[in-house]
Structures are given as structure tokens and as C-alpha cells.
Structure 1
Amino acid sequence: MPPILPSRRGLLAGAAGIAGAALLSGCSDDGPPAADPEVPLERRMRETAVRESERLLERYDATSAAHPALAQRLAPLRASVAAHAAGLAEGSPASSPSRSASAASPVPSGGAAAAPPAPGAAPVPAAPADALTALADAERSLAEARTISLAEAPGELARMLASVAACGHVHAYLLTSTPGASS
């Protein structure tokens, strides 16, 4: 009986599998290029979460500045986001008192213009309803990203991120619901 030789297709599949395994094992040792192995995972995750909350605060400020009539409606939600940023920053040694204080300051209720949006920030839509929808989309997107990151987060941070993500979904609902309407 002649020896059974592997088919060309089998050889190619095996070679592809070995090459893929080599690539994957090589990548897993390096880690993300921006991640510093000296900085603990929890600290990196907290700092990222604080930056994301600060960007969301900037969106609230830009929306309030572009639509002063919405400032009063947005103020409690913005205050909640500021509290989340401050809470997330508490466990991060890189947080500074001035950073937390600025994040916790309320939106001016007299319709005074807030600071201009950060460079690269999404523009605020001209129609108030569209501006609220854009803000709700930002809240929802951030909440979903935080929900996904729960799998990697250490215990206490995971609980905090889950709570903040749930609040983000509630904010998105409140931003797109009609005030005073009953369901």
C-alpha cells in the first residue's frame, strides 16, 4: 500500500495555521503600544474613564453655550457627569484637585457662554432637538463602551463603571424624552 501523502490543500491550511499562531503569539507578548507596563491596569482604565467623562462635560458645555435655553435642562445631567468624573478620578493618583474642581463646576444658568469646545470636538447641531439627540448619542456611545470595558476592569472599578454606564443610558433616555410627558 502506497504511503498516504497530505494534500496540497492540507499543507497550505497547516502552514497558514502555524503562521497565524506565530503572529498571534508574537502580538500577545507586546501588549497595546500605548500601554505602559509599569502603570497598573486599574489606573490606566480610571484615567481613560476620567478623560472620556471630561470630553462629555465639554459636549454638555458646548451644547449649553450653543443653546442657552437648554442650559437649565442640561444642568442636572452635566452635574451628574461631573460627579462621575470626580468619583472615577478619586482612585487615580494622577488626578489633580484643580481638575476635579473644574469638572464639578455647574453650567452657568444665566445663559452665559461656556468655554468653547475642545479642538476636534463634534460641532453642536443648530436645532435644539438635534443637539439633544447628539448629546444623547454621545452618552449612549460612552455608556456602551464602558459596559464593554467591564470585562477587563478590576472589581471595584468594574462596579463603578457599571453604575456610570447605567447612568449614561438614563441620561440618553432623558435627553431624548419629552419633558413633562407621561408614558
Structure 2
Amino acid sequence: MPWTLPSRPSRRSLLAGAAGAAGAALLTGCSDGGGSPDTDAGISLERRMRETAVRDSRRLLERYDATSAAHPALAARLAPLRSAVAAHETALASADAAPGKPSGSPSSAPAGALAVSGEPVPPKPDEALTALADAERSLSEARTIALAGAPGELARLLASVAACGAVHAYLLTSPQGDKP
């Protein structure tokens, strides 16, 4: 059988090759090979991820507090969801506790750090609930994306917290969420 040149590569094989090359580039990063970024910074990846997650939960709590203050009639409806977000903050912070630092205490963050990007609470209650749902949804999506780089136990915790945030977003915007 005579040898023939193969036909040009398929679109699928080109895309797979490009995705593989991009993945390899992401994995190798831009380091000079002089050590991992974690050891250079002196802070582990897990700790940085936990601190970010705690800070994000704190900002979401501030958003819940601002919404309850602006719309007192919504406070009872928001209370159980806010309580769950506070529990997430504590769970995420508990493994981050250093010796001499009480377990569950939040890591340092700016005292007046705003509720998700500093947006004011909308004047209408239904718009305020939608804005809060959007904040929950955005944080849930960010935590889902962060799973890819998280160490085992933290990944499981982030997955649980992300799922809970997605449920909160649903409850905040669904008519069933109006029921006590």
C-alpha cells in the first residue's frame, strides 16, 4: 500500500491541541523555577484561598446587614440566610487560625470594606433582594471556579458553600422565598 500524506488535521484535533497547550502554559506559570510562589510569599495557597473566602463571606454579611437596615421588613426573611453566611465565614476561618489566634476569628480585613463592590442597597425591597441574590450568585460562581485550584478539604468546603450560595440566590428571588 503506498504511503500518502494524511489529510489536514480536523478542527476537533486542533482545538484539543490548543486547549492542551493552554493548560500546560497555565500549569507552568511564569516562575523562573526558583521555588514555588507559595514558599516565596511565605503563605500557603490554602491559607490565601481561605483568607479570600473569609473576606468574601464577610463582605456578603455586610451586604445582608445593609439590606436589612435599609429594608427592616425584610430582616426576618434574611435572618436565616445571613446566619448561614456567618456560619460559612466561621467554617472557612476555623482552619486558618494560627497558634494564639482563636479558632473561627476572622482574618484581618478593612473595617468598612463594603458589601460586594460598594453598591448601595436599592430603594425597592424586590430590587434589594435581586441585588442580594446577584451577590450570592456571583460569589457562588467564584467559589465554584476556585475549586479547581483548592486543596482537598478546602475544595469540599468551598463546594458546599458555593452550593448553599446558589440556593440562597434562588430563595431570594423565588416566590417561595417569601414564605416564612
TM-score (normalised: structure 2): 0.70
Mark the CA change 1:123 to 1:29 in structure 2 (over 3 Å): closer, same or farther: farther
Mark the CA change 1:93 to 1:179 in structure 2 (over 3 Å): closer, same or farther: same
1:136 equivalenced with 2:136 (yes/no): no
Which structure 2 residue ranges, 5 or more long, are not aligned? Answer: 1-25, 107-111
User: Is the Cα contact below 8 Å between 1:50 and 1:89 reproduced in 2?
Assistant: yes
Which structure 1 residue ranges, 5 or more long, are not aligned? Answer: 1-23, 101-115
Distance 2:134 2:177 in 1: 21
Report how many residues are paired. Answer: 146
Report Cα offsets for 1:94-150 as digits up to 9, x if no partner.
5656845xxxxxxxxxxxxxxx88386210000000000000000000000000000
Mark the CA change 1:138 to 1:181 in structure 2 (over 3 Å): closer, same or farther: closer
Distance 1:181 1:79 in 2: 17
Mark the CA change 1:28 to 1:74 in structure 2 (over 3 Å): closer, same or farther: same
Q: Give the aligned partner of residue 6 of structure 1.
A: none
2:85 aligned to which of 72, 76, 81: 81
Mark the CA change 1:180 to 1:173 in structure 2 (over 3 Å): closer, same or farther: closer
User: Is the Cα contact below 8 Å between 2:93 and 2:103 reproduced in 1?
Assistant: no
1:156 equivalenced with 2:159 (yes/no): no
With 87-96 and 54-63 compared, the bigger mean Cα shift is at: 87-96
Report Cα offsets for 1:49-93 as digits up to 9, x if no partner.
000000000000000000000000000000000000000000103
In our comparison, the structure showing a higher alpha carbon Rg is 1
Mark the CA change 1:155 to 1:98 in structure 2 (over 3 Å): closer, same or farther: closer
Distance 2:149 2:104 in 1: 29
Q: Give the aligned partner of residue 118 of structure 1.
A: 114
Structure 1 residue identity aligned to 2:59: R
In percent, how many aligned pairs have the same letter? 68
Q: Give the aligned partner of residue 61 of structure 2.
A: 57
User: Is the Cα contact below 8 Å between 1:146 and 1:162 reproduced in 2?
Assistant: yes
TM-score (normalised: structure 1): 0.69
| Superposition deviation, residue 178 in structure 1 | 1.2
| Superposition deviation, residue 180 in structure 1 | 6.7
Distance 1:180 1:88 in 2: 26
| Superposition deviation, residue 174 in structure 1 | 0.2
